[in-house]
Amino acid sequence: MIHRKRIAHFGLTLSASLLIVACAEQEVKQETMPENILLQEWTGPYGGVPAFDEMKLEDVAPAILKGMELRLAEIDAIANQEAAPTFDNTIVELERSGKELDRAFNYYGIFSSNASSPEFRQIQQELAPKISEYSSKITQNERLFQRIKAVYDASQEKPLEAQEQRVVDLTYRSFAMNGAELSAEKKERYAAISKELSSLYTTFSSNVLHDEENYVTYLNEDQLGGLSEGFIKSAAKIAADKGQEGKYAITNSRSSMDPFLTYSTERELRKQVWTNYYSRGDNGDEFNNNELIANVLRLRRERVELLGYSNYAEWRLQDRMAKTPENAMGLMEAVWPAAIARVAEEVADMQAVADRAGDNITIEAWDYRFYSEKVRKEKYDLDSDEVKQYLQLDKLTEAMHYVAGRLFDYEFTPVPEGSVPVFHEDVKVWEVTNKNNGENVGLWYLDPYARQGKRSGAWATTYRSQSSFDGDKNVLASNNSNFVKPAPGEALLVSWDDATTFFHEFGHALHFFSADVKYPTLNGGVRDYTEFQSQLLERWLSTDEVINNFLKHNKTGEAMPAELIAKIKKAATFNQGFSTTEYLASALMDMKLHLADPSNIDIDQFERETLDELKMPKELPMRHRTAHFGHVFSGEGYATAYYGYMWADVLTSDASEAFAEAPDGFYDKELATKAVELLFAPRNAMDPAEAYRKFRGRDANIEALMRDRGFPVPGE
């Protein structure tokens, strides 16, 4: 998942009058304090780096407020100049504006995602509506929009150079999509809705984080059956850190829940841990998100109706690869029957294993991972825990760097500890250079471990993106995970799925590093395309070069045996029913929620009835139940766009077949160079469909995806 540092390049502003609403004490502080560290230009090595070691919570709100004020002044200067609008005096100046605010939002993002606290969440709640007002001040600036429109209209008669034209088109479209052409009355309502939504998104995230932090399952020593030694030691350390010495903590995060459900022999405890995890945001208390979600849906519908659209999905998908909700639904509905049919087969296999063992149960959702692992051993003689012994995080990191060297000509060198500021002692930093000329490409930050205040999941972030219109800028990017920190002296071992996710997020980082664009706006992305590059990189985990050189046993250091490799490859499509169905259920729910009439929607009821209509297997849940579906309800980045992972996977499967067929396979230099130049470097400087056609010589097709997942392919 991508986490972008910018809230929108040209979508944020705040008038000086907004500062008046801040308390008098805060105004005095802004007038008398030295320049806020969060606004200051970055200094030090590597083109300047964020002063993460100096950021303080009390500086956050003043920095954001001051940054918005400064950018507003820049916006006013652009909008009110007497000179006729041109690309240089309007679009380029927009691209150049807001540097102080960009820096402040980098720190804000760290507090939000990596180091949250109740105190920060209060600041976040107070800032959210002000940031929304600020955004509306820009998109509703009539003078500014008329200048943008004049440049856009002129470019339709006399097109500009390709990247210039692309940034003009994207800028104009963004303003139009966000209400720039509405009447004054409708603009006012549009802004009010956006402001209210911003507060709801913040509350949603806070509620989920509350449930993640406050639902912990503590085990006694006689409740550890089936769990690995490493997991037990880690759980003991977490419990001790939480003041429960002598117990073992299962936290309410996927990285803790998943292995527990896979290996624990304590069925009732599996049910408890499963229930805690899948009930986040839906516990019938003050942190319940259901009514909040209903309000979000109503407000989103009302806002797009102001623009003349019938529903949110129709508005949102117009600038995505899918273009329409019907196209997105068409892809999902084409795959869904094969996915649930495979689940039925998987459940039958699991039930047979349980029956033969005399367990006297019917497979339930909290049993799926546990019995699936037993089926894996029976069908493929493949033990996930045995595989895990070869998946050390440090060696996987080396493997990713190796792949980046082979495909992108990058070299990763650890930065001496203390030479670059970090926001937590767990964060490590590498310098990225071009192997051919030794030039600095940027810095790569890795924040691998789960901790209090860090949101769940895995994501990639940029602190500084590449652009060249004001001189070449190097890239500062990070990968962030939530692996349970091992006990001191122990290797961090991860599952094959977690290793795949690790490669996935690194794919986002490589997409950032390889960017070759002129203007900041072009560093954005089309949501159902930007997951393609990261999903593509996952495929290199299972290449022979990575397996043979980096998947070493954590105790003996021996390479993975050939027979184990063969088992892994033979079982490549195992459990695809589960993984495809749990994902697709969430993606379908996202779309159906935004297509439905939200007037009197009951979220719990809608979820139940929709799953019934889909014939959702009762033995597994959606990957993200609605009440904690942060992709969709903590903001708008993935709203009606969660399908994008599958849209991107069609491209991934198709592109993977190109690599498999290349003379040197996945390390074919000619094809890798073509992929970097056409699929990675352009970012959003080129239409994604055009870029893919240039790479492959045609559009992607769904048949490759079906083959990839071991599903029936019509006509084959």
Residue range 86-96, pLDDT digits in tens = 999 999 999 99
pTM: 0.89
CA dist 452 and 437 (Å) reads 42
For tokens 């002598």, the residue is: 246
N-term to C-term CA, the chain: 34
Measure CA 52 to chain center. 22
Region 249-277: mean pLDDT is 97
Report the pLDDT value the prediction gives residue 716, as an integer from 0 to 100: 76
CA dist 278 and 216 (Å) reads 13
Q: In percent, how much of the chain has pLDDT > 70?
A: 95
Structure confidence by residue, pLDDT tens digits, 202-228: 999 999 999 999 999 999 999 999 999
Query: How crowded is the C-beta side of 349, counted as CA atoms within 13 Å?
Result: 23
Q: Where in the chain is the domain with CATH 1.10.1370.40?
A: 2-181
Report the pLDDT value the prediction gives residue 23, as an integer from 0 to 100: 38
Fold for domain 325-373+574-708? Answer: Neurolysin; domain 3 (1.10.1370)
User: Amino acid identity of 353?
Assistant: V
Structure confidence by residue, pLDDT tens digits, 520-579: 999 988 989 999 999 999 999 999 999 999 999 999 999 999 999 999 999 999 999 999
193 token code pair: 């809705």
Region 370-389: mean pLDDT is 95
For tokens 């008669």, the residue is: 157
Q: In percent, how much of the chain has pLDDT > 90?
A: 93
Structure confidence by residue, pLDDT tens digits, 111-121: 999 999 999 99
Report the pLDDT value the prediction gives residue 715, as an integer from 0 to 100: 75
Q: How confident is the model at residue 507 (pLDDT cuts 50, 70, 90)?
A: very high
Region 170-190: mean pLDDT is 96
CA dist 410 and 433 (Å) reads 6
* 239 neighbors 218 (Cβ within 8 angstroms): yes
Question: Comparing 71-80, 442-451, 487-496, 582-591, which segment has the lowest mean pLDDT?
Answer: 487-496
User: Amino acid identity of 50?
Assistant: P
Region 664-671: mean pLDDT is 98
Report the pLDDT value the prediction gives residue 18, as an integer from 0 to 100: 29
* 382 neighbors 576 (Cβ within 8 angstroms): no
- What SS3 state is found at 342? helix
CA dist 546 and 137 (Å) reads 51
Average pLDDT, the chain: 94
b/e burial code for range 470-488 (CB count within 10 A of at least 16 → b):
eeebbbbbbbbbbbbbbbe
pLDDT at 623 over 80: yes
Report the pLDDT value the prediction gives residue 2, as an integer from 0 to 100: 57
- For 41, other C-beta atoms within 10 Å of its C-beta total 9
CA dist 179 and 174 (Å) reads 9
Cα separations in angstroms, 575 against 278, 287, 344, 493 = 20, 34, 11, 21
339 token code pair: 């996915």
CA dist 106 and 463 (Å) reads 6
* 443 neighbors 429 (Cβ within 8 angstroms): yes
Cα separations in angstroms, 256 against 250, 455, 498 = 6, 14, 12
Cα separations in angstroms, 495 against 271, 388, 391, 492, 695 = 21, 5, 7, 10, 33
Q: How confident is the model at residue 373 (pLDDT cuts 50, 70, 90)?
A: very high
Region 126-144: mean pLDDT is 96
pLDDT at 319 over 70: yes
CA dist 424 and 475 (Å) reads 20
Region 450-467: mean pLDDT is 94
Report the pLDDT value the prediction gives residue 525, as an integer from 0 to 100: 85
Dihedral of alpha carbons 129, 130, 131, 132, sign: positive
pLDDT at 270 over 50: yes
Query: What dotted CATH number matches 2-181?
Result: 1.10.1370.40
Of the candidates 463, 484, 466, the one whose C-alpha atom is nearest the C-alpha of residue 474 is: 466
CA dist 263 and 226 (Å) reads 5
Of residues 9 and 423, more confidently modeled: 423
DSSP string, 36-90: PTTTSPPBSSTT-B--GGG--GGGHHHHHHHHHHHHHHHHHHHHH-SSPP-IIII
* 114 neighbors 3 (Cβ within 8 angstroms): no
30 token code pair: 């802004």
Q: Where in the chain is the domain with CATH 1.10.1370.10?
A: 325-373+574-708
Structure confidence by residue, pLDDT tens digits, 390-438: 999 999 999 999 999 999 999 999 999 999 999 999 999 999 999 999 9
- What SS3 state is found at 482? strand
274 token code pair: 């499963």
* 542 neighbors 572 (Cβ within 8 angstroms): yes
Report the pLDDT value the prediction gives residue 35, as an integer from 0 to 100: 86
Q: How confident is the model at residue 1 (pLDDT cuts 50, 70, 90)?
A: low
